[in-house]
Chain A
Amino acid sequence: MAADFNWAVGGEAGDGIDSTGKIFAQALSRAGRHVFTSKDFASRIRGGYTAYKVRTSVDKVQSVVDRLDVLIALTPRTIEENLDELHEGSVIIYDGERTTMQDVEIPEGMIGLDVPLKSLAEEAGGAIMRNVVALGAACEVAEFPIENLDSALEKRFKDKGQKLVDNNKEAARAGQSYVAEEYDHEFDYSLETTDEDYVLLNGDEAIGMGAIAAGCRFYAGYPITPATDVMTYLTGRIERYGGHVVQAEDELSAINMALGAARGGARAMTATSGPGIDLMTETFGLIATSETPLVICNVMRSGPSTGMPTKQEQGDLNQMLYGGHGEVPRFVLAPTTIDECFWKTVEAFNLAEKYQVPVYLTADLSMAVTEQTFSPDTFDMDEVEVDRGNVVDETTIDDHMSESGGFQPHEITDDGISPRAFPGTADGAHMSTGLEHDEQGRRTEDTDMRVAQVDKRNRKVETAREREDWSPREFGDADADDLVITWGSNEGALAEAVDILDEEGQDVRVLSVPYIFPRPDLSEDVAAAETTVVVECNEQGQFADLVEHDVLERVDRVNKYNGVRFKADELAAEIKSTLEAGVEA
């Protein structure tokens, strides 16, 4: 019996793949099993291959692997696409009555279960439930108690009436019984349940939840894959906490609305993907120069241009670090896990307001659309702190007036942080502008004031470096000679890769870095290592470049840019071969 179980449903977009996968993932989560999901999807509404994969174990799972134990194949292509991951003993559930599946050939050594999904679904109340019949069949194969599936079906359909819930339960049982009666076969799998309670959510949802927790009240965005789920999540939820979501006419409008709300004193956010960041870049400069706190979430996908909208990449790092004309400080945070998407979002809002800077919060497609189980106290709302920084009110504003009595929102201070007055604060009226300005915010071309303001803005970065903890997360063997550095969603795969490497006798130390700017000083870590390898999903090694810049030393790189995330076993092999090549050289 394998320690973890890998399952997938695949077919054409429009076949209900997503909801089928989600129901199964929820059933597993509700049964106290850990779950990690991934999606293969094309940029179209109907047609085109799409799949939803679920990996599950009683232990924590945090990556995908090259293995499939049970596959529900709604089209012949589903089998072709997953042939590499299927193995001897893998079970393929399909409907031989379906026109396209009649001549399907089950690869040698695998077990084909021909289940009349549509007919059984019709008997239970409707052909639309054929995927649920398949889920019932999968439960039988995996020895997974079908009551857990019932529970997920109830969650899914309870708003549509008990009748529908009952029909679905019946459909699931039809699939289960059919396999039990028609196939006299002992399968290799047995999915045990536990008493643990888990929540199941993806990166976009964690970001949205973090935003509300942090007090974000205003969100404006324009739909774009793979960031749209952030807006979908907030819509209908943020209102309960006194907030509002606007679906803007474009990204230019979205970021300017968020800017307006932030000037009004609200915690505000927008989320988009690379092409949207391009459009927002002009306003980004204004936000930075006017020292407006704003969180801009960039859920990266494959670029450049329209690139591959539904595929993974971490190619926008330079865009976020350097995008825009002129020089302005900005912070770039990059959560490395789904639970960290929540906490880094909270942190992003605090950093934005404490330092009065725009903060890029970046996730990537793999993290955004992937669901993972967590203990609910991972998201302990009592731990959330809101720090609004240097906001003045009627009683403290007098300390920040010019000689002529005007409020100074860009006061030159030792730590670079100036006072902030929200509209409505008496005597706080002031202007904000993208023009270079004096301490009162009024346009200036005075050379001394220009230098003073540029220095003041940059001084905030030094202050933040001193006051905040920018440490990376460390795992693997602390005493290993070889160092692996990564950022973004690769951490999960890397954590499992370390275990694989360990079994093969290869010790590595890993640093997973959630801060791109400011970022930790890694020079001592790199100096102490024999070989340093930087792992990232792009071709040029944008983070590796930064490390080299910081430590003044060459590092090795493992890059992947075919649109697919790293898998644990693949990554272990890549790291090993890179380290071995280094030794030979």
Chain B
Amino acid sequence: MSSDIRFTDFKSDKQPTWCPGCGDFGTMNGMMKALAETGNDPDNTFVVAGIGCSGKIGTYMHSYALHGVHGRALPVGTGVKMARPDIEVMVAGGDGDGYSIGAGHFVHAVRRNVDMTYVVMDNRIYGLTKGQASPTSREDFETSTSPEGPKQPPVNPHALALASGATFIAQSFSSDALRHQEIIQEAIEHDGFGFVNVYSPCVTFNDVDTYDYFRDSLVDLKEADHDPTDREAAKDVILDNEKEHQGVIYKDESSVPYHEQHGVDEDMSVLPDGAPEGATDLVREFY
């Protein structure tokens, strides 16, 4: 691919309808910059998104893209990558999309270790349906559907990922543009499933998990002497409910992506005009 690709080439001509100040602007900018920085261009990139504020990202970016049904973006990304190992696949979703309706797919995409980047825009609330509790909402977070708080602990997506055999687990903050881009880049370059949970504040419905809150509480693992190749250390970070972290939490450097494990390396879009060579063997087996 040509080296003169700029991140703006990944921008579509549609103006985002996200609320002014929404964390998703920063999340998306970081994704576009990371894609350009890692040598991709819109014609070799496939972005999959689900439903919700996060799902709109495919409209605002310029690439091959699919805006799917709620919660099913990861299987779509898996299909694209299997058919086209030559294409860069990025999947984006929200905390509801990924950890509620799509939680089952999340676990299985992680354990398959499909070579794609999964960006979850986590604002700890349902934004587009106007402010209900999400799977990552705090236990006492009051919303229209949880007037006294959900009264159940939030999903710990990193723990879920680690337990499912993840090979790359990270956390970033959409407002810390450079670090966010750096972390997404590392996820793209990872050979396998690169999972990044992004704190992407909702300025309209969430007055608890705000920019200020994250700015004040985030501990950067790069400065905390954390070794991301150490699974035990990663476990400690993930189970530490007292702190919010950013950075690469865990990375398995010996990761072999699903398609390589299964010997899938062909571009499946290329076909002969008739049955494949040797297809008669299929009939002979039934003698």
Q: Which residues of A contact B (CB under 8 A)?
A: 29-30, 197-201, 205, 209, 212-215, 217-218, 220, 237, 239-244, 246, 248-250, 252-254, 256-268, 282-283, 286, 290, 376, 379, 381-382, 384-386, 388, 404, 406, 422-435, 442-443
Assembly CA distance A213 to B86 (angstroms): 24
Q: How large is the interface on B (under 10, 10 to 19, 20 to 34, 35 or more residues)?
A: 35 or more
CB within 8 Å for A260 and B79 given contacts A384-B274, A424-B43: yes
- Report chain B residues within 8 Å CB of A382: 274-275
Chain A residues with Cβ under 8 A from B278's Cβ? 240-241
Determine if A263 and B284 form an interchain contact, defined as CB atoms under 8 angstroms apart: no
Interface residues of B (CB under 8 A from A): 12-14, 42-46, 48, 58-59, 62-69, 72, 75-84, 86-87, 104-105, 107-108, 259, 262-264, 266-269, 271-276, 278-280, 282-284, 286-287
CA distance A15 to B31 in the complex (A): 59
Assembly CA distance A270 to B72 (angstroms):
16
A244-B264, A384-B279 given; 7 more Cβ-contact pairs under 8 Å: A212-B276, A213-B282, A220-B75, A246-B78, A260-B83, A428-B43, A442-B14
Are A257 and B78 in contact, with the CB atoms below 8 A? yes
Q: How far is the CA of A237 from the CA of B80 in the complex (A)?
A: 21
Chain A nearest Cβ from B282, distance in angstroms? 5
A260 to B76, alpha carbons, bound, how many Å?
4
Instruction: Give Cα A283–Cα B71 distance, bound, in whole angstroms.
Output: 11
Cβ 8 A contact of A265, one of B268, B274, B280, B286: B268
Name B272's contact: one of A215, A240, A264 (CB within 8 Å).
Answer: A215
CB contact between B282 and one of A212, A218, A252 (< 8 Å): that residue: A212
Residues of B within 8 A of A386 (CB): 271-275
A427 touches B43 (CB 8 A): yes
Residues of A within 8 A of B64 (CB): 263, 423, 428-431
Q: How far is the CB of A5 from chain B (nearest CB, A)?
A: 21
Residues of A within 8 A of B269 (CB): 264-266, 422-424
Contacting pair A263 B46 (CB below 8 A): yes
Q: Which 3 pairs between the two chains have the least Cβ-Cβ distance? A: A260-B79, A265-B269, A264-B83
Report Cα–Cα, A250/B106, bound state, in Å.
12
**Residues of B close to A258: CB separation below 8 A:** 79
B67 touches A433 (CB 8 A): yes
**B84 and A424 form a contact (CB under 8 A):** yes
Interface pair B82/A197, CB less than 8 Å apart: no
- Bound together, the chains give a CA A372 to CA B58 distance in angstroms of 49
- What would be 29 A-B contacts, judged by CB atoms less than 8 Å apart? A197-B287, A199-B283, A215-B276, A217-B268, A217-B271, A220-B79, A239-B263, A242-B266, A242-B268, A250-B104, A259-B66, A260-B80, A263-B66, A264-B269, A265-B267, A265-B269, A268-B83, A286-B69, A376-B283, A376-B287, A384-B279, A385-B273, A386-B275, A423-B87, A424-B267, A429-B62, A433-B59, A433-B67, A442-B12
In the bound complex, CA of A88 to CA of B261 (Å): 60
Do the beta carbons of B84 and A259 come within 8 Å of each other?
no
Give the CA-CA distance A200 to B286 in the complex, in Å. Answer: 5
Report how far A430 CA is from B107 CA in the complex, Å.
Answer: 29
Min CB–CB distance A165 → chain B (angstroms): 17
What's the nearest-Cβ distance from chain B to residue A508, in Å?
33
Output the nearest chain B residue to A431 by Cβ-Cβ distance: B65
CB atoms of B87 and A264 under 8 A apart: yes
Query: Which residues of chain A have C-beta atoms less than 8 A from B81's C-beta?
Result: 260, 264
Q: Nearest Cβ in chain A — how far from B273, in angstroms? A: 5
Known contacts A286-B69, A385-B274, A430-B64; A261/B104 CB under 8 A: no
Give bound CA distance, A205 to B287, whole Å. Answer: 13
Contact yes or no, B276 A253, CB < 8 A:
no
Task: Indicate whether A265 sits within 8 Å of B84 (C-beta atoms), given known contacts A260-B76, A384-B274.
Answer: yes
A384: contacting residue among B79, B105, B275, CB under 8 A: B275
Whether the Cβ atoms of A264 and B59 lie closer than 8 Å is no
Whole-angstrom distance between the alpha carbons of A452 and B262 in the complex?
44
Shortest Cβ gap from A217 to chain B (Å): 4
Contact assessment for A218 and B283 in the assembled complex, using a CB-CB cutoff below 8 Å: no
Bound-state CA distance A220–B63 (Å) is 25
